[in-house]
Amino acid sequence: MNFASDNVAGTSPALLQALADINDRPLPSYGGDPHTAEVEHLCRKIFEHDNLRTLLVATGTGANALALSALTPPWGAIYCHSDSHIAVDEANAVEAASGGSRLMTIDGAHAKIDPDKLRAAIYGKGIVHHPQPSTLSITQMNERGATYSLAELSTLTAIGREHGLRVHMDGARFSNAIAGLNCTPADMTWRLGVDVLVFGATKNGALAGEIVVCFDPDLADELEFRRKRAGQLFSKMRTLSAPLAAYLRDDLWLENARHANAMARQLAQGLADIEGAQLLRQPDGNQMFLTMHPALAERLRAAGAEFDDWPEVGPDVVRLVTAFNTREADVHAFLSLAANA
């Protein structure tokens, strides 16, 4: 009964198998292997985009920092939510990689950027003293488990376009957002004006690795050099790419996310009947926040359940996260423990 995070979960067996399958043969290094090419080919199909380019990197922080550094000059302003991972959980990696850009944080309920606040925050174009409006960064699904609807995304990217902003999407849980909204990856990204997506894999059953999906091929050439300078160009790239090709092939990425979301829905439904637990909002994907009476939390933990407190959201708030391999039996066990507590 571990609901602490989706990165405490292991790896989808198909990905481990993909790695084992190529272990007995030498393959070209630095991304010259056929699996790296296959990842790009599969992304072109998944995103219905013939020219997109993909770069594999080790971590979400690295991917966000690289993507944003290519989109933003050192004197640029990046508009993002005040609870966004890039603002609060990346130790200024974006600012470092971009040579000094400024994160301009914007509020909004459930960690969604409020369009009016975004409009009000964009200021100073052409004023030499002021950070220059450059980039909009949106997390989809976001840090509070909320998914922007396509209409909400479209409103934000339209504001960005009015002001000449480029658009980055932190998709550490992009698959959960797609599974939740049941829309196409193209409709959620480049058709709305997203320039670079970080297509997360680690939290959805990958061994490691995130895919930087660049919808602007010119920018991809620059990203290649930035990745090398950041020390993120793997010489044995196949150790990332062979499992990731298996992850993308036959839509395993979507199947994994659908399962995680379904487990979250079951958990949320069951929690509605539990005294001492109150969801802050229904989960859009695989994570939910709730107030939980401390005595209930203590009993659940004493019985072996694992989950984290989330005091930055509020007193007695905890977070529950499901993963690609969460078992229905664990959801039921958690709920019956809670009911009996």
Ligand X SMILES: Cc1ncc(COP(=O)(O)O)c(C=O)c1O
Which of 96, 333 has the CB closer to ligand X?
Answer: 96
The Cα-based distances of 65 to 52, 103, 147, 196, 308 in angstroms read 19, 12, 22, 12, 27
Angle, CA of 7, 8 and 12, to the nearest 5°: 75
- Sequence letter at residue 215: F
Q: What is the DSSP letter of 261?
A: H
CA–CA distance, 95 with 154 (Å, rounded to integer) = 26
What sign does the CA torsion over 73, 234, 62, 288 have?
Answer: positive
Q: In which region does residue 126 sit, left (phi positive, over 0), alpha (psi from -120 to 50) or beta (all else)?
A: left
Nearer to ligand X, 170 or 195 (CB): 170
Q: Give the three-state DSSP class for 295.
A: helix
Stretch that binds ligand X, among 53-61, 249-257, 283-291, 329-337 (CB under 6 A): 53-61
Which of residues 12, 36, 61, 204 is near ligand X by CB under 6 A? Answer: 61
Shortest Cβ distance from residue 142 to ligand X (Å)?
7
Q: How far apart are the first and last CA of the chain?
A: 16
**Contact code string over 151-170 relative to ligand X, x by CB under 6 A:** -------------------x
Between residue 85 and residue 124, which ones bind ligand X under the rule CB under 6 A?
Answer: 85
Would you give the binding string for ligand X spanning residues 6-35, x where CB under 6 A is met?
A: ------------------------------
Q: Is 322 in the site for ligand X (CB under 6 A)?
A: no
Which residue's Cβ has the minimum distance to ligand X? 60
Q: Which is nearer to ligand X, 22 or 58 (CB)?
A: 58
Nearest CB to ligand X, comparing residues 170 and 216: 170
**Rounded to the nearest 5 degrees, what angle is found at the Cα of 112, between the Cα atoms of 150 and 251?**
50
Written in H, E and C, the secondary structure of 18-50 is HHHHCCCCCCCCCCCCHHHHHHHHHHHHHCCCC
Closer to ligand X by Cβ: residue 93 or 296: 93
* Residue found by looking up tokens 């909320």 in the block: 146
Give the shortest CB-200-to-ligand X separation in angstroms: 7
CA–CA distance from 107 to each of 74, 104, 122, 148 (Å)? 24, 10, 13, 14
Closest to ligand X by CB, 296 vs 307, is 307
Q: What SS3 class is residue 3?
A: coil
What tokens appear for 239 in the block? 């150790």
Q: Is 252 in the site for ligand X (CB under 6 A)?
A: no
Pick the binder of ligand X from 83, 143, 195, 216 (CB under 6 A). 143
The alpha carbon of 268 is separated from its chain's Cα centroid by a whole number of angstroms, namely: 21
Is 60 near ligand X (CB under 6 A)? Answer: yes
Of 11, 14, 38, 59, which one interacts with ligand X (CB under 6 A)? Answer: 59
Among positions 189-248, residues that touch ligand X (CB under 6 A) are 202
Quick one: 109 or 127, whose CB is closer to ligand X? Answer: 109
Which tokens in the block code for residue 226? 């930035």
CB of 86 to ligand X, least distance (A): 7
Q: Report, in Å, the least distance between residue 209 CB and ligand X.
A: 10
Question: Minimum distance between the CB of residue 177 and ligand X, rounded to whole angstroms?
Answer: 11
- Residue in 69, 135, 137, 139 binding ligand X, rule: CB under 6 A: 139
Task: Determine which residue in the list 42, 68, 77, 172 makes contact with ligand X, applying CB under 6 A.
Answer: 172
Q: Which residues bind ligand X (CB under 6 A)?
A: 59-61, 85, 139, 143, 170, 172, 202
